[in-house]
């Protein structure tokens, strides 16, 4: 192989190090937002989440302030555990110490987030919003490795001064490393990992701290003796793939500092869904009513977004925690509340006997159109077919269901 060819090949798998990625991560964002409008919560343990007022408590913690974390409350923790560790107090006058449990107001958090992101945008060549409290910034064109520290400090200061919340920042030549770096000096911290230092920075970290390693993978890695990112990095690609599957190949690259992804703005959503936990029930009437509610809510959001969907699905979680999904694809995209509800209900029939604790409705295979575009009415099922289908429903008997137990859906797709 010619030397030039070899160099080309090497370039493909070696980080070019010419990218400067900044990961911005707000500290305890929901709790910080609450403190903006309720300064008396400053310094107090604050927990944001739902279901703490249910009996028994259900749901999970969305955000816990650092004061609440002192008691062992963590985000994503079941609310029941949080309440065991940190009892709830009703008001500041409540003589019993405890934590402030708040339901949270997403609309308000979104407004604060928008202020933060607007500032961040002015610091970025390209900005990718990951969630309400997190973003990647490509700053390659607007600063340099020599000036990055001052640059990051300025961004943090401007957010703090004009919005009043604190952020942590990680900077690295790859997205995956920047993500880990922002966690490193939390809260209100900056961590800069320069080109060439990525592997050494990641090596001592527990494998579970790598982005993309969840509880299942962490367990599998540790059982096989891979405790740290460095342990994974020391395997050959072949070993990593053989022992942990193809998914490990990407992780194996990441822990060695190889990640060629670039910061790109987020595109259109792929699906729109709504789900709801309920008191476990076998009552088919209750289930149907919930599905109808959810379908109507999904429809509202779909309608406000000028989007059609081609696939309609439901999610049914049976006790103890068995997740089932069913979906049905049409021939062409539609936006049709009636059809959405009816198909969702059809898909539910299979689960009429089971004990259900959670239900969801989802649309996917989305097709966006701007308001001015002419509707593709020819793709909508003609009313005659809907009418035909309705009459079939009335006459439907059990032997019209397939032997697999799946419902028979009208084949107008």
Partner DNA sequence: TCTGGGGTCCTAGGACCC
Q: What is the nearest approach in angstroms of DNA to the Cβ of residue 146?
A: 29
Pattern 359-398, binding to DNA, x per CB under 7 A? Answer: -x-x-xx---------------------------------
Pattern 206-235, binding to DNA, x per CB under 7 A? Answer: -----xxxxxxxx-----------------
Exactly one of 133, 138, 259, 336 binds DNA (CB under 7 A); that residue is: 133
Stretch of 10-18, 282-290, 315-323, 385-393 contacting DNA, by CB under 7 A: 315-323
Exactly one of 239, 260, 329, 402 binds DNA (CB under 7 A); that residue is: 329
Q: Could you count the other beta carbons within 10 Å of the beta carbon of residue 104? A: 16
Exactly one of 194, 324, 337, 412 binds DNA (CB under 7 A); that residue is: 324
Exactly one of 80, 89, 186, 243 binds DNA (CB under 7 A); that residue is: 80
Answer yes or no whether residue 275 interacts with DNA by CB under 7 A.
yes
Q: Give, as ranges, the residues between 279 and 308 that touch DNA (CB under 7 A).
A: 301
Residue (60 or 142) nearer to DNA, CB: 60
Q: Is 137 exposed, middle or buried (0-12, 13-18, 19+ CB in 10 A)?
A: buried
The DSSP bridge pattern shows strands 167-172 and 21-26 to be antiparallel
Residue (149 or 275) nearer to DNA, CB: 275
Answer yes or no whether residue 109 interacts with DNA by CB under 7 A.
no
Transcribe 301-335 into DSSP letters.
Answer: HHHHTTEEEEEEEEEEEETTTEEEEEEEEEEEEE-
Answer yes or no whether residue 271 interacts with DNA by CB under 7 A.
yes
Q: Which of 134, 341, 342, 346 is catalytic?
A: 134
Q: Could you count the other beta carbons within 10 Å of the beta carbon of residue 391? A: 10
Q: What is the nearest approach in angstroms of DNA to the Cβ of residue 330?
A: 8
Residue (57 or 143) nearer to DNA, CB: 57
Distances (CA, A) of 16 to 13, 28, 196, 258, 259: 9, 34, 10, 9, 10
Stretch of 91-99, 126-134, 141-149, 187-195 contacting DNA, by CB under 7 A: 126-134
Question: Is 134 marked active-site?
Answer: yes
Please tell me the distance from the alpha carbon of residue 117 to that of residue 155, in angstroms, as a whole number.
11
Answer yes or no whether residue 269 interacts with DNA by CB under 7 A.
yes
Please tell me the distance from the alpha carbon of residue 183 to that of residue 282, in angstroms, as a whole number.
44
Answer yes or no whether residue 403 interacts with DNA by CB under 7 A.
no
**Which helix (H) or strand (E) segment is 390 a member of?**
helix 383-395
Please tell me the distance from the alpha carbon of residue 171 to that of residue 181, in angstroms, as a whole number.
7
For DNA (CB under 7 A), the number of binding residues is: 56
Q: What is the nearest approach in angstroms of DNA to the Cβ of residue 234?
A: 20
Answer yes or no whether residue 346 interacts with DNA by CB under 7 A.
no
Buried-state track 319-357, b at ≥16 Cβ within 10 A, e below 16: eeeeeeebebebeebbbbeebbbbbbbbbbbbbeebebb
Transcribe 261-288 into DSSP letters.
Answer: ---------SEEEEEEEEEEE--HHHHH
Answer yes or no whether residue 323 interacts with DNA by CB under 7 A.
yes
Please tell me the distance from the alpha carbon of residue 45 to that of residue 48, in angstroms, as a whole number.
10
Is residue 34 a contact partner of residue 41, using CB atoms and an 8 Å limit? yes
Q: Give, as ranges, the residues between 158 and 177 that touch DNA (CB under 7 A).
A: none
Is residue 383 a contact partner of residue 338, using CB atoms and an 8 Å limit? no
Please tell me the distance from the alpha carbon of residue 163 to that of residue 160, in angstroms, as a whole number.
6
Q: What is the nearest approach in angstroms of DNA to the Cβ of residue 94?
A: 25
Q: What is the nearest approach in angstroms of DNA to the Cβ of residue 359?
A: 9
Distances (CA, A) of 230 to 224, 245, 251: 14, 18, 11
Residue recorded with tokens 């982005």: 211
> Which positions are catalytic?
134
Question: Which residues make up the interface to DNA (CB under 7 A)?
Answer: 50-51, 56, 58-60, 62, 76, 78, 80-81, 130-134, 179, 211-218, 246-247, 269-277, 301, 310-311, 313, 320-321, 323-329, 357-358, 360, 362, 364-365, 406
């Amino acid at each position: 192989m010619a030397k030039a060819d070899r160099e080309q090949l090497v370039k493909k798998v070696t980080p070019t190090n010419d990218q400067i990625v900044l990961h911005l991560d707000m500290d305890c964002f929901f709790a910080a937002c609450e403190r903006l409008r309720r300064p008396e919560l400053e310094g107090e343990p604050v927990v944001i989440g739902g279901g703490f007022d249910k009996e028994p408590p259900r749901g999970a913690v969305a955000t816990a302030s650092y004061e609440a974390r002192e008691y062992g409350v963590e985000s994503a923790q079941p609310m029941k555990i949080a309440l065991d560790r940190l009892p709830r107090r009703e008001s500041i006058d409540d003589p019993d110490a405890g934590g402030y449990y708040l339901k949270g107001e997403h609309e308000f958090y979104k407004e604060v987030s928008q202020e933060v992101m607007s500032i961040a945008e002015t610091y970025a060549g390209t900005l990718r919003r990951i969630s309400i409290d997190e973003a990647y910034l490509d700053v390659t064109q607007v600063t340099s490795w020599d000036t990055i520290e001052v640059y990051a400090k300025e961004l943090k200061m401007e957010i703090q001064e004009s919005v009043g919340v604190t952020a942590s920042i990680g900077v690295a030549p790859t997205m995956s490393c920047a993500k880990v770096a922002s966690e490193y000096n939390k809260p209100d911290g900056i961590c800069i990992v320069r080109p060439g230092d990525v592997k050494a920075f990641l090596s001592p970290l527990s494998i579970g701290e790598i982005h993309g390693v969840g509880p299942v993978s962490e367990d599998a890695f540790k059982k096989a003796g891979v405790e740290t990112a460095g342990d994974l990095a020391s395997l050959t690609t072949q070993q990593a793939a053989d022992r942990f599957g193809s998914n490990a190949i990407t992780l194996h690259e990441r822990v060695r500092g190889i990640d060629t992804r670039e910061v790109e703005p987020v595109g259109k959503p792929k699906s729109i869904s709504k789900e709801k936990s309920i008191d476990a029930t076998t009552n088919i009437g209750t289930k149907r009513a919930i599905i109808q509610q959810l379908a109507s809510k999904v429809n509202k959001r779909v309608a406000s977004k000028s989007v059609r969907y081609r696939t309609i699905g439901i999610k049914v979680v049976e006790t103890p925690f068995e997740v089932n999904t069913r979906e049905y694809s049409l021939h062409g995209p539609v936006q049709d509340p009636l059809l959405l509800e009816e198909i969702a209900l059809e898909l539910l029939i299979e689960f009429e006997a089971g004990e259900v604790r959670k239900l969801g409705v989802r649309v996917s295979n989305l097709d966006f159109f701007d308001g001015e575009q002419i509707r593709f009415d020819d793709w909508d099922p003609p009313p005659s077919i809907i009418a035909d289908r309705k009459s079939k429903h009335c006459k439907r008997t059990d032997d019209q269901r397939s032997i697999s137990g799946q419902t028979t859906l009208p084949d107008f797709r």
